[in-house]
Amino acid sequence: MRTFVVDASIAVKWFLEEVHAESARRLLDDGHALLVPDLFFPEVGNILWKRVRFGEMSEEEAAAMLQALRKIPLQIHPSLPLILPALEIACQIQRTVYDSLYIALAVHERTVMVTADEKFYNAIKGSPLSPHVLWVEDIAQVEESSGSP
């Protein structure tokens, strides 16, 4: 079993048929330990609200997704202990503190963050933090190299 930090871009793909959804769902199927900062839930809620606002889904569908998300065994970490490292990371990579909380958690837990946010991934991949970020489509390669089924 591997441990991964997952961001909101991954969680949405667990429930919606969109690009990279199959790869994101591998995290659920393979019994991995999934870590999130407590900011994760408001971020997912905000993504769903935007989809309701733009007519891409109903409010009932969004609520059902949030209920289903609550059933996934996620290890929730408080943001407060991560906020200073997240600020440092945000200044270093010129991304939001919100996004940087996920990397700060991955660094703190000595693991990697999985994302489907291409802009965020590209901002990190050339930095010293690149060992702590994994593109969603690369999950299978990590599983194969670690001997996971």
pLDDT digits (tens, 9 = 90+) for 4-59: 999 999 999 999 989 999 999 999 976 799 999 999 999 999 999 999 999 999 99
Q: What pLDDT score does 146 carry?
A: 59
Taking only the tens place, the pLDDT of each residue in 90-127 is 999 999 999 999 999 999 999 999 999 999 999 998 89
Q: What angle do CA 32, 64, 24 make, to 5 degrees?
A: 30
**pTM of the entire structure?**
0.91
DSSP state of 109: T
- Domain ranges for the chain, please list them: 3-142
Residue 80 above 90 pLDDT? Answer: yes
| Dist CA 55 CA 73 (whole Å) | 30
Q: What pLDDT score does 147 carry?
A: 53
Q: Regarding predicted confidence, which is higher, 1 or 24?
A: 24
| Dist CA 103 CA 94 (whole Å) | 13
DSSP state of 30: T
- What CATH number is given for 3-142 in this structure? 3.40.50.1010
